[in-house]
Structure 1
Amino acid sequence: MPEIAIAERAGVGADGHPRPTEDHVVVLDNAVLVLDGATSSEPSQPPGGWYAERLARRLAEDLHVAPEADLTEVLTSAIAALTAEHRLQPQRSPSSTVAAVRWLEDRVDALVLADSPVVGFGGFGVDVVSDDRLARLRRRGMLQTGADVRRRRNAHDGFWVAEADPGAAAHSVRRSWPRADVEAVLLASDGVSIGVDQYELFDWREVLAVSRADGPDAVLAAVRTAEKQDPDGERWPRPKRHDDQALVVVDFESGVIQGLP
């Protein structure tokens, strides 16, 4: 069992007021999941945190039963089950990113759907497993309105995310590394990865180094400090001052779980 260190902080809503985090972290015997929920624009639908929590629970149950199952197939099945159980409708339902890491005797597998990256460190260097389709669309100004997001969600000219379309799982970004080559793996929600990708506070090697030296919450604190220095988003335009944050460090050098309640 690797050492697993976890840090989480709630962000604020679009209105700037505190609210419960919509990020969810699950630790299994041989896997870690990070999900970041997004609320539908339909006011009658439950929030993104509701969806992320239930999808995380279903994924955990399925991986507990079949710990070596194909990750894409597990995700497909979980989305389908949740969609049927709650009668969710494509383009009108809450959604969630998915980042998963699973270790077996011979390899470490990673899966990413939407913008919660996984970063592997080892004999292969630094391997960032990321899905940048959302970021590319934002840079091109193609997600200006709620209608834009709905039109491009789970569409071939758009981006893919866990929602009410099980076929989205097939568009996940996957990676497998020989277990003997893996030193550590990070999983992050975009409230953390923004510190690397947009704020450029550190690179991923530095994120790992800070996490090992001071704990992963030190990384979250650095991102929050930068955001407090840019409260109105003038330097770094963003939809809300502070997003939810989740960072998990899976370190294959020892075996203590830190940060769990």
Structure 2
Amino acid sequence: MESQATPGRVNDDYAVVGLEWAVVLDGATALKPAENGCIHGVPWVVHRLAGNLAHTLTVTPDVALADALAESITRTCAAHEKTCDLSNPDSPSSTVTILRRRDDVLDYLVLGDSPLLVKRAGRVEPILDERMANLNDYSYDAVMAAQNTSDGYYVANTMPDAAYQAVCGTLSGGGVDAAALLTDGASRLVDAFQLMSWEELFYIISTEGPASLIAQTRKVEADGAATSDGRKRKHHDDATAVFIDFML
């Protein structure tokens, strides 16, 4: 389920799902779009990252997820390196969250603030990359200085090695009942507005579906709720949620 922040405007989120894997991406709006060195919009980059990932995950099903993302970033850069200034730190970027079933295990990768929720043994476990939340200065200069650095946070844009800084791991597939991949626009009832727990959010998406979760988020936004996590966030944000029930 996808929903753009403002109807009629392009959605910077994207989701792509295969038989054994799912991917969600959340493109970041350039802080200075007129000066970011790229002639393409954020969706152009996000869609190519997604398409390259889908290709790699399909044709090489056992590839390490970090390798798959690094290759996707490399191919995306090659598609516009002759037209755009890829040395500009404000070049379009994206978070990436991947979940893949491989034999009897589940592999995951989380790069940026798009959470992965996994339910196993009756408990909901969030798998998070929280480095972006640790920023205490959201000015242009501070964000650009922190991006893709060990003292800051990592995203997918022009540095393939950022893929190897993602939160990665493997779970026993037999013990996982369900999972949800969310962009931060779909997780904000927990991490931005702090109105519920991850367990409560997961209950909504698993019993009522992604559309209901996003509808409830839009209502909270429309009612004027303020973010309470200390981060500078959009009042309205693109939202994408993918729910996977392994018990079906």
What is the TM-score when the length of structure 2 is the normalising length? 0.90
Take 2:218 and 2:171, find their aligned partners in 1: how far apart are those partners?
32
1:127 to 115, 125, 128: 125
Residue aligning to 2:173: 179
1:233-253: CA deviation from partner (whole Å, max 9, x where unpaired) = 486775432100001111101
Take 1:92 and 1:36, find their aligned partners in 2: how far apart are those partners?
15
Instruction: Kindly report which structure 2 residues correspond to 1:136-147, keeping only aligned pairs within 5 A, or say none.
Output: 136-137=134-135, 140=136, 142-143=137-138, 145-147=139-141
**Residues 216 and 92 (structure 1), Cα distance of their counterparts in 2 relative to 1, 3 Å cut:** closer
1:12-62: CA deviation from partner (whole Å, max 9, x where unpaired) = 3xxxx8511110000112100000111332425222222111100000011
User: SS where residue 192 of structure 1 aligns?
Assistant: coil
User: SS where residue 126 of structure 1 aligns?
Assistant: strand
Matched, 1:33 2:23: yes
Residue aligning to 1:195: 189
Take 2:233 and 2:193, find their aligned partners in 1: how far apart are those partners?
15
2:116 to 109, 118, 122: 118
Match of 2:127, as an amino acid? V
Residue aligning to 1:72: 66
Q: What is the deviation of 1:197?
A: 1.3
Take 1:63 and 1:186, find their aligned partners in 2: how far apart are those partners?
19
8 Å Cα contact 1:90/1:165 also seen in 2:
no
1:160-179: CA deviation from partner (whole Å, max 9, x where unpaired) = 00010011011100121111
Matched, 1:243 2:211: no
CA RMSD of aligned residues (A): 1.9
8 Å Cα contact 1:38/1:49 also seen in 2:
no
**Residues 76 and 134 (structure 1), Cα distance of their counterparts in 2 relative to 1, 3 Å cut:** same
Take 2:96 and 2:193, find their aligned partners in 1: how far apart are those partners?
23
Task: List alignment gaps of at least 5 residues for structure 1.
Answer: 1-6, 255-261
Give the fraction of aligned pairs with identical amino acids, expressed as a percent.
Answer: 33
Take 2:58 and 2:189, find their aligned partners in 1: how far apart are those partners?
33
What is the TM-score when the length of structure 1 is the normalising length? 0.85
Task: List alignment gaps of at least 5 residues for structure 2.
Answer: none
8 Å Cα contact 1:11/1:245 also seen in 2:
yes
1:98-150: CA deviation from partner (whole Å, max 9, x where unpaired) = 0000001210111000110111111283221111111111xx2x22x222221
How many residues get paired? 239
Take 1:105 and 1:216, find their aligned partners in 2: how far apart are those partners?
27
User: SS where residue 77 of structure 1 aligns?
Assistant: helix
Take 2:205 and 2:113, find their aligned partners in 1: how far apart are those partners?
21
**Residues 235 and 96 (structure 1), Cα distance of their counterparts in 2 relative to 1, 3 Å cut:** closer
1:153-201: CA deviation from partner (whole Å, max 9, x where unpaired) = 1012111000100110111001211111000111000001111112123
Matched, 1:208 2:198: no
Q: What is the deviation of 1:69?
A: 0.9
User: SS where residue 187 of structure 2 aligns?
Assistant: helix
8 Å Cα contact 1:36/1:52 also seen in 2:
yes
